[in-house]
Chains A and B, each alone.
Chain A
Amino acid sequence: MNFKVPKKQSQLLLACIVFIVMLVLTSGAYAEVVFVANKTVPIEQVSAREIRDIFIGEQVKWKNGKRIVLVVLMGTDIHKEFTKKYTRKTSSQFFTYWRSLIFTGKGVFPMSFDTEEELISFVANTEGAIGYVSSGTKTDNVKTIKVTD
């Protein structure tokens, strides 16, 4: 079957496809959460259940007995993705949850940074620290932690 699309319409269609592809790729870039830890942290991979326990303050020590230092990126898109996927909470529920721990004496709020660069720098220089960034962020001075199901 001979199917011809007028030139103007084909340009518009192409532009739409490019836009959608870019949108998907862009949103994909934000959606991918990568866990990063200080090089002294004695693990290479953790289960999704363990990562949840760590970030809701129920596991406070690594297997070597050293304390876990939590680092988050409050107020960012990657934080929203992280809380939804790994803590079963929305970002506001995550914030309220931690405040509840603070005001009952059960926890100290994680360190929070505005940018991924600041977070990486802190994790690289702090023993026992673990945080997350979006994929594509430079992670040279830290180790990445694989999360299994």
Chain B
Amino acid sequence: MKKSILMSALIILLLSGNIWALEYAGGNIHGFISQGYLDSSDNNFLADTHSGTFQFREMGINYSREILSGLRGGFQLFSRDLGDIGNNEIEIDWAYLDYNYRKWLGVRLGKMKTPMGFYNETRDFDISRVNVFLPQGVYNEGWRDSFTAKTGVGIYGKIPMNQLGDLKYQAQVGEMDIEEDGGIAKFTDGQTHSTTLDFDVDTTYAAELQWETPLPGLRIGVSGNWFDYDHYFSTNDTTYWRNRTEQAFWIGAGITPEEWAFLAGMGFLPPVPTTYEEYQAYGVDMIGLRIEMPVENYYYILSAEFVWGDLTLAAEFAQDEIEYKMMAPLPYGTLIERKFKFEGYYYSAAYRFTEWFELGTYYSVFYPDCTDKEGYETQRIYDVPREINWSKDTCLSARFDINQNWILKIEGHSIDGLAVMYIIDQDKNKDESLDVDKDWNLFAFKLTYTF
């Protein structure tokens, strides 16, 4: 019902000609609706893109108004569909009260956008950039649902530093949403051959410093996000976890098969177990277990942007230190305990040639585990192609501003590596191996109406 009301309201607006904002009860209503098309040469990028898909749409509508001098309130409803992410479910994108006490201090209360690099806060809003997809090395599309907003309290402000420019800051504390059918779940489910059951997210923190330098158009920033969560999943891929039962048995036994065989030869132990049924008889069975995975994240982004007339240059570097354990309800508990970093960066350039035409390009690199950039370790642990551990994406985008309401974007990607897509979305060969190609292309088309 809610979905059809939102859709109907947006369609009426689409048909009502060239408009810019609606007014209601002293405030303004704005919105957008976009429909895209994705097609990839080989692999599936978040949806069934290999066959070409229109499952790529976004809608949003917001209302905000000034309540008192310096006090503003508003909310935005948002829905998106990208393969099986979002599924057009309407959610509150942001809803908060904002009190601007002075230029150097403001307070926000409610669900607000998270500062995470220069472009995270505006990523749901297509018209803010030339690209269809932000560089995936820093702005992973699958994790967008979780990283885009926090519910809690935040402070912000701008401190003038005279000849040294201005320093802007933001700090937030609150909760973030991690959905059972979202990108983080899909990523883990694919790698661990499991199905996510639940997430339990602790309080999260975010902060950003942005220096607007004395050189006009140059800004430099650093932002950080700190969040912990417990991820619960079920080991229901019987083929994979049947094989892992042997591994779990020997971790639990605390001795090697050779040592067991020696002791068995001395008559101290029964014969060495070698089959799934024998491991099961010792109470070790990895199939259908509820695994608890506590995850700690320390996520940092360094950003730089230079705007010179119609030219915009940008570069960002992101690193996430991740610590996790996989704990099973077995006598010895911990199966895996790992600490690693993911790393991503990009360089981009965009130039607006006319009021209606802009061209942009970027080169984006992403390593989900930069201690294993070649992917050999990941391949050994999770039985996945090693190309899953890197992605090098060259992108070219064209944006056409048809008028102030309509924009059209066309974009091509040439990608080496599989890190920006999910294992779970890929087709399989007859022998159950993944049908993926290391070098692949992605084409994106998107038409957006904004008012």
Q: Which residues of A contact B (CB under 8 A)?
A: 49, 53, 58-61, 65-67, 88-90, 92-93, 95-96, 99-100, 102-109, 112
Contact = CB atoms under 8 A, between A and B. Distances in A.
Given A88-B216, A88-B217, A105 B76 contact: yes
Given A102-B30, A105-B98, 13 more contacts: A59-B103, A60-B70, A65-B70, A67-B66, A95-B404, A99-B128, A100-B122, A100-B128, A103-B30, A103-B62, A104-B94, A109-B20, A112-B20
Interface of B: 20-21, 27-28, 30, 32, 60, 62, 64-66, 69-70, 72, 74-76, 94-96, 98, 100, 102-103, 112-113, 121-122, 124-125, 127-128, 158, 160, 216-217, 307, 309-310, 352, 355, 401, 404, 450
Contacts of A53: 103, 158
18 contacts: A53-B103, A53-B158, A58-B103, A59-B103, A61-B70, A61-B102, A99-B450, A100-B121, A100-B128, A102-B28, A103-B32, A103-B76, A104-B121, A105-B74, A105-B94, A108-B72, A109-B21, A109-B28
A98 B352 CA distance: 18
A108 B128 contact: no
**Which label, helix, strand, loop or mixed, suits the secondary structure of the A interface?**
loop
Contacts of A106: 98
B64 A102 contact: yes
A101 to B, nearest CB: 9
The residue among A61, A105, A108, A109 with the most chain B CB atoms within 10 A of its own CB is A105
A142 to B, nearest CB: 21
A108 B69 contact: no
Contacts of A88: 216-217, 307
B81 to A, nearest CB: 19
A90 B310 contact: yes
- The 9 lowest CB-CB distance pairs between A and B, nearest first, are A67-B69, A103-B125, A100-B122, A100-B128, A60-B100, A105-B74, A104-B113, A59-B103, A105-B94
Contacts of B70: 60-61, 65, 67
Contacts, number: 85
A10 B413 CA distance: 61
B114 to A, nearest CB: 11
A65 B72 CA distance: 15
A96 B69 contact: no
B116 to A, nearest CB: 13
Contacts of B64: 102, 105, 108
Contacts of B128: 96, 99-100, 103
Given A103-B122, A103-B124, A103-B125, A108 B160 contact: no
Contacts of B27: 108
Contact of A108 (B28, B100, B127, B352): B28
A99 B125 contact: yes
Contacts of B65: 108
A41 to B, nearest CB: 13
Contacts of A103: 30, 32, 60, 62, 76, 122, 124-125, 128
A53 B352 CA distance: 25
Nearest to B70: A61
Contacts of B102: 61
A60 to B, nearest CB: 5
A90 B307 CA distance: 10
A67 to B, nearest CB: 4
A61 B69 contact: yes
Contacts of A96: 127-128
Contact of B125 (A89, A93, A104): A104
